[in-house]
Amino acid sequence: MSLETGATTAPRTSLSVEDARHRILNAVSPIDGWERVAIRDALGRVLREDVIAPFNVPAHDNSAMDGYALRAEDLPDGIGERSFRVIGSAFAGRSFSGIVGTGQAVRIMTGGVMPAGADSVVMQEKVRTDGEHILISAGVQHGQNVRRAGEDLSEGSVAIPRGKRIGPADLGLVASLGLAELCVARRLRVAFFSTGDELASIGSPAAPGQVYDSNRYTLHGVLTRLGCDLVDMGVIPDRPEAIEAAFRSAAASSDVILSSGGVSVGDADFIRTLMDRLGEVNFWKIDIKPGRPMAFGRIGNTWMFGLPGNPVAVMVTYYQFVMDALLKIAGVSPLPERPLIPMVCATAIRKSAGRQEYLRGHLLCEDGTWKVRPAAAQGSGILRSMSEANCFIVLRESQGDVAPGDTVDVQLFDGLV
Ligand code: AMP
Ligand code: MG
């Protein structure tokens, strides 16, 4: 593998968000290894083999309505009514075994198997009953209200393609095919640690000047949601030997290493030089706010991301650069779209050109119109802004100040699934 430095192609000393994303996603590749799991355990896992429909879905022609199954050619094609004799019933799960002849009809319920001889269903609302007979006027087309066998999926076709991350609808779809197990990629193993002499761990009192380590907890959250196996390596002090030992042990046990802090150019920032010494590294200044410095590289076969230390910057860089890389390494293909949704901004925003900004925003409905409002405090250390937000407001590099009522792009935190 070679990691481009970009120095020959890019005159600027820092990368755009888009370029950094491309470089990372082009560099990483999927892991090997798979297992078979029971379908319930496949939620959130990545499919390793196409799921093939073992039979037609639906398996038989069946009724889309409650009504009467009959032969369309028996119906009057102009005006007037025609009487049919009702010779039996076909309920869902209990079919009619006879044959529907001329002038005959079978009472049928939604999902009931179409009886032999019948080709169309007349809705019960369009029928007048008269003892054992029904009366129908003109206006029903041949094949109407019938769901055809194989209409959803034909036998042997791909029901869910390899590379898809299994969601609730997929679980139901697999169950509808009668399949009990799925072949999924093994879980990605991700080691992570925080660096900083100022960091206190929960359970011990924070001395003056210390702050509690929060980054390991947000990373625990995002990685758990992604379905990774986690190796939490705790807080590592700002000593090169300690960080080197952490990198070596993480590289031996995991597919990916995430560190936070120590990636700037201060005296206690050793991540970049150590990554460089132990493996291959690209250190980037990215034109992003928050989260400008970030290191990316590998030790042996293990990918490394040196994330910034500020808690909001950790989350922004994780979502913009790391998450899709982890999905690709886990075997997801194609990667999900990350749509930007234009939204009216409720308040003014000051924006200096040159960096793509990810502000924390809140979507709200005012007088029947959805708008986005930026969080009041946007500091890269203010995690409350992430906790209260439900979207990022994405202001492009070249964009200037935003006035109330202007349209801005937003990226939602949550989807339905
Ligand atoms: P650094 O990049 O190491 O200089 O860290 C930048 C800022 O983020 C400093 O104010 C750190 O105290 C803070 N910080 C770094 N790591 C953490 C962490 N794990 N939890 C909370 N704050 C952190
Ligand atoms: Mg630090």
The string of pLDDT tens digits covering residues 11-68 is 678 899 999 999 999 999 999 999 999 999 999 999 999 999 999 999 999 999 999 9
Ligand 2 centre to CA of 261 (Å) is 5
> What is residue 376's three-state secondary structure?
coil
Q: For residue 271, what are its two tokens? A: 């991540």
Q: Is the CB of 309 under 6 A from ligand 1?
A: yes
The tokens describing 66, both together, are: 């409650």
* CATH code of the domain occupying 62-147: 2.170.190.11
Token pair 């410095």: residue: 293
| pLDDT > 60? residue 4 | no
Q: Is the pLDDT of residue 122 over 70?
A: yes
List, for residues 130-165, the tens digit of each pLDDT value: 999 999 987 778 899 999 999 999 999 999 999 999
Question: Which fold, 17-33+186-330?
Answer: Molybdenum Cofactor Biosythetic Enzyme; Chain A (3.40.980)
308 lines ligand 1 (CB under 6 A): yes
The values of phi and psi at residue 17, to 5°, are -55, -45
In CATH, what is the architecture of 341-412?
Answer: Beta Barrel (2.40)
Radius of gyration of the chain (CA): 30
Cis preceding-peptide flag for 339 (omega within 30 of 0):
no
pTM score, two decimals?
0.91
Q: Where in the chain is the domain with CATH 2.170.190.11?
A: 62-147
Is the Cβ atom of 218 under 6 angstroms away from ligand 1? no
pLDDT of 3 reads: 54
Q: How far is 324 from 336, CA to CA, in rounded Å?
A: 8
In angstroms, what is the span from residue 91 Cα to ligand 1's centroid?
66
Count of residues for the chain?
417
Cβ of 279 closer than 6 Å to ligand 1, yes or no, is no
The rounded Å distance from CA 359 to ligand 2 centre is: 23
The answer on pLDDT for 6 being more than 50 is: no
Whose CA is closest to 221, among 408, 383, 28, 32?
A: 383
Digit-coded pLDDT (tens) for 341-395: 999 999 999 998 899 999 999 999 998 999 999 999 999 999 999 999 999 999 9
Can you list the alpha helix ranges (DSSP code H) found in 57-142?
A: none
Distance 376 CA to ligand 2 centre (A): 26
Backbone angles phi, psi at 242, to 5 degrees: -70, -40
What ligand is nearest to the CA atom of residue 309? 1
With a 6 Å cutoff on the Cβ, whether 311 touches ligand 1 is yes
Residue of 379, 337, 338 whose CA lies nearest to 359: 379
Burial class (CB in 10 A: 0-12, 13-18, 19+), 408: buried
C-alpha dist (Å) from residue 80 to 72, 123, 358:
15, 18, 68
Rounded Cα distance between 305 and 317, Å, is 10
CATH number of the structural domain 36-56+154-185: 3.90.105.10
Q: How far does residue 310's CA lie from ligand 1's centre (Å)?
A: 5
Ligand closest to 261 (CA) is: 1
Structure tokens given for 196: 């900083």
Contact call for residues 305 and 259 (beta carbons, < 8 A): yes
pLDDT tens per residue, range 264-295: 888 878 998 999 999 998 878 999 999 989 99
Residues linked to residue 122 through DSSP beta bridges, in sequence order: 68
- Listed in order, the ranges of the chain carrying CATH 3.40.980.10 are 17-33+186-330
For residue 194, pLDDT over 70 is answered with: yes
Tokens of 314: 């950790």
Q: Is the CB of 199 under 6 A from ligand 1?
A: yes
Protein residue with least CA distance to atom 5, ligand 1: 309
Is 264 a pocket residue for ligand 1 (Cβ < 6 Å)?
yes
Question: 18 vs 24, 260, 276, 330, 344, CA distance in Å?
Answer: 10, 22, 24, 21, 24
Which residues lie at CB < 5 A from ion ligand 2?
196, 261-262, 309
- CB of residue 262 inside a 6 A radius of ligand 1: yes
At residue 1, does pLDDT exceed 50? no
Average pLDDT, the chain: 94
Numbered ranges of CATH 3.90.105.10 in the chain: 36-56+154-185
Q: Which atom of ligand 1 is nearest the CA belonging to 261? A: 3
What is the reported pLDDT for 138? Answer: 72
* C-beta of 260 in contact with ligand 1 (< 6 A): yes
Is the pLDDT at 2 greater than 70, yes or no? no
Q: What is the mean pLDDT of residues 297-307?
A: 95
Name the band, by pLDDT with cuts 50, 70 and 90, for residue 10: very low
Query: Is there an atom of ligand 1 within 6 Å of 310 CB?
Result: yes
- The alpha carbon of 247 and the centre of ligand 2 are apart by a number of angstroms equal to 16
Residue 260 CA: nearest ligand 1 atom is: 16
